[in-house]
């Protein structure tokens, strides 16, 4: 071999090894929404748009989309599977119920390793034993557990590199969201809003798990920052103590950040939705109860709240505000869209938080007549707030009201998608209501802290779920696809003019992004309550989704739960590709012959 050639080969090999050793970098994460050979973050980009520019699978070729492989999570630990897979370096990293994770060969489905977190007795997750995914950084894959820990595993071996506790499960804390990497920091929230915890966002060094800053999302609590040695110093109180909370209720105020966050490089801000104030009985906590039911924008460098917008002040219906804030461009400005549990879709200026538009995305809303665009506040319907139990004759139960949407929300954990091609949001919405009443309640550490009772009710006998294409500028529903059962899985949209989403009945299906016409569906064998992803490898586009019925609906769904009790649990990941496809958008000559023969 010639010396020059040998030298070139050695140089190339060293460069390749160096790139591999570097693992996932901040630069790679910054391009995640535009690169197509991997999926490095929850949301297919930190902005959370869940859009891929891939076009090989499109409205013309999707008839040839077939299963490539399927992998079973096995055992008896099924329940709800809400995870979004990540793909890097030829591997798929996917989490499952009961705080488990697998690394799989992304092309064949072969298991490379498995990590099963040892959970203690006494965990109290509110809404099933789910996990929504992981984060990749350097050579690590990082995820949270039901017992409120963060675990970082070596991507190649699955060995534990570091492990840190978020908080005490005895106080009601847990963790279910996919962590977020933003600006070299690992950002996480907390779950447990039904147990009187205090919501917050934490920033850590993703390589070590060491704390950098903490920002509480309940007004009156102190934020902190940490030096390299782990020493803690005060970093300012969140909000103004006592301004929007009466008495001592702020000390157990809820506002959990259980869905995780998004990050926009153009604004430098991370956005976290916050959950319901505690307890549910709003008559105990007269006031707006900041920063519950809000979008909170954080400066990731300082851990300070730059702006906040409250979707449901003094929430009395458990509407939360935890849903994702998805940033996008509109008329030359950076905006953020949010389909809130309370039934309204909000558009805010992503830099300032100023409300730009707000409109209902479900057909029935009873708690408010609309949102005042000047003040940003809802126009409440006072008689549709659950009654004060102390006003009753026996003081044990307040007056019952029918409220819509139900506390399960116009949209719950199932993430929406945004297409820069159509300029539409694709929202998995649900039409349902509830009977709800208030009861007396006192705080007890680690116990359910509601002060309310409820029964979920159907509204329309024909359907509950509806995937809706929504124009954020006009507020119009451009098209919808109705579904008998509630939609509880996320959405993916692509440059191939497609929208993918799953149903509890077990189907992964795709529609024309412009018209809503369903052009493909596949039965996965169990309900889909997870968001699909897509990537390319070796000239082929792959589509993947996790299947496994569960989540909050069968646990909390009342009359709706009875309607879908025939659905079977499961636990698997399905991967699809085009029959005979190559790198060309139209597919290979062989595949075209197969398609022609099929006709």
Structural element, H or E, at residue 1: none
Mean pLDDT taken over the chain = 92
Q: What pLDDT is attached to residue 238?
A: 97
Q: What is the mean pLDDT of residues 522-547?
A: 97
Taking only the tens place, the pLDDT of each residue in 114-136 is 999 999 987 877 888 899 999 99
547 contacts 79 by C-beta, under 8 angstroms: no
Q: How confident is the model at residue 73 (pLDDT cuts 50, 70, 90)?
A: very high
Give the separation between CA 536 and CA 539, rounded to whole angstroms.
Answer: 6
* More confident call, 587 vs 410: 410
Give the separation between CA 599 and CA 581, rounded to whole angstroms.
Answer: 18
Give the separation between CA 212 and CA 209, rounded to whole angstroms.
Answer: 9
* More confident call, 355 vs 21: 355
Percent of the residues in the chain that have a pLDDT greater than 70, as a whole number = 93
Give the separation between CA 427 and CA 467, rounded to whole angstroms.
Answer: 6
Domain chopping of the chain, boundaries: 24-598
Cβ neighbour number for residue 234 with a 10 Å cutoff? 9
CATH T-level fold of 24-598:
Methanol Dehydrogenase; Chain A (2.140.10)
Q: How confident is the model at residue 478 (pLDDT cuts 50, 70, 90)?
A: very high
Give the separation between CA 290 and CA 249, rounded to whole angstroms.
Answer: 12
548 contacts 526 by C-beta, under 8 angstroms: yes
- Location of structure tokens 């993916």: 492
Q: Please determine, for residue 583, whether its predicted confidence score (pLDDT) is greater than 50.
A: no
Taking only the tens place, the pLDDT of each residue in 372-425 is 999 999 999 999 999 999 987 687 899 999 999 999 999 999 999 999 999 999
Taking only the tens place, the pLDDT of each residue in 3-21 is 454 444 444 444 443 334 4
20-34, 231-245, 294-308: which has the minimum mean pLDDT? 20-34
Q: Please determine, for residue 491, whether its predicted confidence score (pLDDT) is greater than 70.
A: yes
Angle ∠(404,363,384) on CA atoms, nearest 5: 30
Q: What is the mean pLDDT of residues 518-534?
A: 97
Percent of the residues in the chain that have a pLDDT greater than 90, as a whole number = 85
Q: What pLDDT is attached to residue 15?
A: 41
Give the separation between CA 8 and CA 206, rounded to whole angstroms.
Answer: 35
23 contacts 137 by C-beta, under 8 angstroms: yes
Interstrand relation of 452-458 and 491-494 (parallel, antiparallel or unpaired): unpaired
Residue 318 a catalytic site member: yes
- What is the biggest distance separating any 2 CA atoms in the chain, rounded to whole angstroms? 97
Q: How confident is the model at residue 592 (pLDDT cuts 50, 70, 90)?
A: very low
Q: Please determine, for residue 357, whether its predicted confidence score (pLDDT) is greater than 60.
A: yes
Q: What is the mean pLDDT of residues 209-233?
A: 97
Q: How confident is the model at residue 582 (pLDDT cuts 50, 70, 90)?
A: low
Closest CA relative to residue 291, chosen from 316, 256, 265, 338: 256
Q: Please determine, for residue 596, whether its predicted confidence score (pLDDT) is greater than 80.
A: no
**Active-site option among 318, 340, 388, 512:** 318
Q: What is the mean pLDDT of residues 177-200?
A: 96
Q: How confident is the model at residue 591 (pLDDT cuts 50, 70, 90)?
A: very low
Q: What pLDDT is attached to residue 567?
A: 87
Length in residues, the chain? 599
């Amino acid at each position: 071999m010639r010396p020059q050639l040998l030298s070139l080969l050695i140089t190339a090999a060293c460069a390749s090894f160096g790139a591999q050793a570097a693992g996932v970098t901040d630069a790679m994460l910054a391009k995640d929404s535009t690169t197509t050979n991997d999926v490095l973050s929850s949301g297919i980009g930190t902005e959370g748009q869940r859009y891929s520019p891939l076009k090989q699978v499109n409205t013309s070729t999707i008839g040839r989309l077939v299963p490539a492989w399927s992998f079973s999570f096995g055992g008896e630990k099924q329940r709800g599977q809400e995870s979004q897979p990540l793909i890097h370096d030829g591997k798929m990293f996917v989490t499952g119920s009961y705080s488990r994770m697998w690394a799989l060969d992304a092309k064949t489905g072969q298991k490379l390793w498995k990590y099963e977190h040892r959970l203690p007795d006494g965990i109290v997750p509110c809404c099933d034993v789910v996990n929504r995914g992981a984060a990749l950084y350097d050579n690590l894959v990082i995820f949270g557990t039901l017992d409120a820990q963060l675990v970082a595993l070596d991507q190649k071996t699955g060995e534990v590199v570091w492990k840190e506790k978020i908080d005490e499960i005895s106080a009601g804390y847990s963790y279910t969201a996919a962590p977020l990497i933003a600006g070299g920091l690992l950002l996480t929230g907390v779950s447990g809003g039904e147990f009187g915890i205090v919501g917050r966002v934490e920033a850590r060094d993703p390589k070590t798990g060491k704390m950098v800053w903490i920002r509480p999302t309940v007004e009156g609590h102190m934020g902190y920052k940490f030096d390299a040695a782990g020493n803690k110093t005060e970093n300012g109180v969140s909000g103004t103590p006592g301004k929007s909370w009466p008495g001592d209720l702020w000390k157990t105020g809820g506002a959990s950040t259980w869905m995780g966050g998004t990050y926009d490089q153009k604004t430098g801000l991370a956005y976290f939705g916050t959950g319901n104030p505690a307890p549910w009985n709003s008559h105990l906590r007269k006031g707006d109860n900041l920063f519950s039911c809000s979008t909170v924008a954080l400066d990731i460098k300082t851990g300070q709240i730059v702006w906040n917008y409250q979707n449901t002040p003094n929430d009395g219906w458990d509407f939360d505000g935890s849903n994702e804030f998805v940033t996008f461009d509109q008329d030359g400005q950076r905006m953020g869209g949010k389909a809130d549990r309370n039934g309204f879709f909000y558009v805010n200026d992503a830099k300032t938080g100023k409300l730009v538009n707000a409109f209902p995305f479900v057909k029935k809303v009873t708690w408010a007549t609309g949102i005042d665009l000047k003040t940003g506040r809802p126009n409440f319907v006072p008689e549709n707030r659950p009654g004060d139990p102390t006003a009753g004759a026996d003081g044990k139960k307040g007056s019952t009201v029918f409220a819509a949407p139900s506390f399960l929300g116009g949209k719950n954990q199932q993430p929406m998608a945004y297409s820069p091609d159509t300029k539409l949001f694709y929202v998995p919405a649900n039409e349902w209501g509830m009977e709800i009443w208030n009861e007396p309640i006192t705080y007890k550490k680690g116990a359910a802290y509601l002060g309310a009772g409820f029964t979920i009710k159907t509204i329309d006998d024909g359907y509950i779920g509806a995937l809706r294409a929504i124009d954020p500028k006009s507020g119009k529903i451009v098209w919808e696809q109705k579904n008998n059962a509630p939609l509880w899985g996320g959405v993916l949209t692509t440059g191939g003019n497609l929208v993918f989403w799953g149903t509890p009945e077990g189907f992964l299906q795709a529609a024309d992004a412009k018209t809503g016409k369903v052009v493909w569906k596949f039965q996965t064998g169990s309900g889909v309550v997870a968001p699909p992803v897509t990537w390319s490898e070796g000239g082929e586009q792959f589509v993947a989704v996790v299947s496994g019925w569960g989540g909050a609906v069968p646990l909390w769904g009342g009359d709706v739960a009875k309607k879908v009790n025939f659905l079977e649990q499961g636990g698997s990941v399905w991967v699809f590709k085009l029959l005979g496809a190559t790198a060309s958008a139209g597919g290979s000559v062989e595949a075209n012959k197969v398609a022609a023969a099929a006709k």
